[in-house]
Copies of this chain bind each other. A is one copy, B any other.
Amino acid sequence: MSTAIQKQLESVFQRVAHLEHAMTYLGWDQMVMMPPAGLENRAAAMAELASLRHTALTSPELVDWFDALSAETESEAGLTEHASLREMKRVWQAETVLPADLVAARIVAGARCEQAWRDQRFANDWQGFLANFTEVVALAREEAKCRQAAAPDITPTPYDALLALHCAGDSADRIDAVFSVLKNALPELLDQVVGKQQSEPLPNCEGHFQTADQQALNHVLMRVLGFDFNAGRLDVSMHPFSTGERGDSRITTRFKDTEFTEALLATAHETGHASYEAGLPDEWQGLPVGQSRNMCIHESQSLLFEKHIAQSKPFLEALMPRIHEHLSATRHLNADGLWRSLTRVRPSFIRVEADEITYPLHVSLRYDIERALINGDLQPKEIPDAWDVAMQSLLGLSTGDQHHHGCLQDVHWSDGTFGYFPSYTMGAVNAAQLMATLRQTYPDWQTQLAAGDVTFIREWLRTTIWQQGGLLESQPLMEHATGESSNPQHLLDHLRLRYLEQAW
């Protein structure tokens, strides 16, 4: 009986997955292919698909089915069935718990604020932004309270309830603990590294690079990293991103005429995201339990590919001849020079340009502010001061009233996305921790990377992370893979070894 209900439930989610497939690739098309005049019809079609998805998930029989299945214990259901049910329920609750008028109000306020932000950012117009943003925050607080009330046991604060949309399973308490270690250690490490690097020469990576040549080089990099072009594509978009599903990964990068490393690292990063999606288990295709764990794990895969593989000394040794081959203007550069250029550390105002050491501090600052904002401990108008104080304390820089270099720089908050920022740094922590286990498991890892062979890493990740889908919650998944839950010490160890001892 309960198996029959579970099957019915799963067939609803399979149909939902088909609608999500349509939205995924139409969304990609919109970012990469669609001409501007297509926007109006595309928006109407996307809204229709979202509405059909919502209708499928709010079908009244789902309530009865979830009720009937919730009565069972884990041992009755079996581990996989239990996890599948838990993940379906998570998706269902996230979709159905908000009143329709709140959903509509959020979308309208978020779209208005985000649209205006595009100009306000460049105009440094904090007051103009605040006029729209105040309502965005008010609605996000209401959303957070609603979501928290639906699952008070696992989301003790309103902020936890928004966090759960992106970092499911990783609580604010755990993230607090991680950031507290990093905030304590990183400013001092930053001083040491900047002091050390002052006396080191900085090789020049600039030159003139044709897009077609860079494209060919990025294809080479993707192949070396194990990307299957029979099951995916590389394209160009304003901001690099990764989307798609198993069988059809779509990643993008962007090319500059005068600099080639930014595109290359973005491509490595997105290849990590795509590899995770491509490695998800076949047998749960279309079910929530077959999807990636959360953004803290997702970002660990992209950062492992970008920071621990592509940016490592041995891998750059392997890649350098291919770089020379495709970009003749790099012939004066050797692997060591490129590595030194890629590991240059410098405190700056802009998160997306930040290096491995300062990035977690940028994120920590945003995390503290958004948590206080959603929990009601900080008001929108107080953000610029909070931002400036934190920047001075963590990075030694004052934003003053240059808000376009401060709290106006990111798109996230403008449309009401709160609880996403911490995944960047949880991802960095998890990546360093996974890599630490990889180094122990494969003591010859540098030899393999120097031979341009990443198969051992892909196979280990496939087994420990990718094939797990959403079977385990994120911390049990990290324990399964590394023997312990997310521990920032591994990131600190990596940063000290790379930046002070130049180990890799």
- Nearest chain B residue, comparing its CB with the CB of A235: B33
The residues of B that contact A415 with a CB separation of less than 8 Å are: none
Give the contacts of A23-41 with B (CB-CB under 8 A).
Answer: 25-26, 29, 33-41
With both chains docked as a complex, state the minimum distance between the C-beta of A303 and any C-beta of chain B, in angstroms.
Answer: 25
The residues of B that contact A35 with a CB separation of less than 8 Å are: 229-233, 247-248
A197, B80: Cα distance in complex, Å? 76
Residue A19 at the B interface, CB < 8 A? yes
A233, B30: Cα distance in complex, Å? 13
- Nearest chain B residue, comparing its CB with the CB of A36: B230
Q: Are A233 and B44 in contact (CB under 8 A)?
A: no
Residue A479 at the B interface, CB < 8 A? no
- Nearest chain B residue, comparing its CB with the CB of A232: B35
Q: Are A247 and B48 in contact (CB under 8 A)?
A: no
Residue A208 at the B interface, CB < 8 A? no
The residues of B that contact A26 with a CB separation of less than 8 Å are: 22, 25-26
The residues of B that contact A29 with a CB separation of less than 8 Å are: 25, 29
A37, B21: Cα distance in complex, Å? 14
Among B39, B40, B52, B248, the residue within 8 A (CB) of A52 is: B52
Contact A228:B15 (CB < 8 A) given known A21-B45, A49-B22: no
- Nearest chain B residue, comparing its CB with the CB of A228: B37
- Nearest chain B residue, comparing its CB with the CB of A23: B22
Residue A42 at the B interface, CB < 8 A? yes
Contact A230:B37 (CB < 8 A) given known A19-B48, A22-B49, A52-B52: yes
Residue A18 at the B interface, CB < 8 A? yes
The contact string, 1 if C-beta is below 8 Å from chain B, for chain A 428-467, is 0000000000000000000000000000000000000000
Among B19, B21, B36, B44, the residue within 8 A (CB) of A21 is: B44
The residues of B that contact A233 with a CB separation of less than 8 Å are: 33, 35
Residue A245 at the B interface, CB < 8 A? yes
The residues of B that contact A230 with a CB separation of less than 8 Å are: 35-37
Among B42, B47, B52, B231, the residue within 8 A (CB) of A37 is: B231
Q: Give me 8 other A-B pairs in contact (C-beta within 8 A), A18-B49, A35-B233, A35-B247 excluded.
A: A35-B248, A37-B231, A37-B232, A37-B248, A38-B231, A38-B247, A40-B247, A41-B285
